[in-house]
Homo-oligomer: A and B are copies of this chain.
Amino acid sequence: MKETEALKEKIRQFRDQRDWAQFHNTKDLALALSIEASELLELFLWKAPESADPQKIREELADVLMYALLLADKQGLDITEIIEEKLLLNNKKYPVDKARGTAKKYNEL
C-alpha cells in the first residue's frame, strides 16, 4: 500500500476506536488543522529562526500532518496527486525566470 494511504488507515483506526468521526465535519477539520499549525508556530515565538525545540517541532508537525491526512481522506484526495497538480499550477504562477531569487508574491512579480 502507498505510504500516505497506510498512514490514513492508521489515523482512521485511532479515530474510530474513539468514535470521533461524528465530530469530523470538513469545516471543523480545517479549524483543527489551522489550530495545530498555530501551535507549531508558537514554538518559534520570540525566538531566532532556528531556535525552536526540535522534539516539539516533531510532535506539532505530526499533529498538522494528521489533520491534513484526515481532511484529504474525508475529501477522497490522493496526496501525491494533489501535490503534483499544485506544483504544475505554481509553475505557471511562479515562472522560473521571474521568480528566481525573489520572495515576492505572484501578483507582485
Which one of B3, B61, B80, B101 contacts A80 once the chains associate, using CB atoms below 8 Å? B3
- Binary contact track A51-68/B, C-beta < 8 Å → 1, others 0: 010100111011111101
Whether the Cβ atoms of A44 and B26 lie closer than 8 Å is yes
The tally of residues in A whose CB lies under 8 Å from a CB in B reads 73
Residues from chain B with a CB closer than 8 A to the CB of A103 are 20, 23, 45-47
The binding surface of chain A is classed by DSSP as helix
Identify the closest chain B residue to A104 (Cβ). B46
Whether the Cβ atoms of A82 and B58 lie closer than 8 Å is yes
Which one of B42, B63, B71, B101 contacts A19 once the chains associate, using CB atoms below 8 Å? B101
State A37–B36 Cα separation when bound (angstroms).
Answer: 9
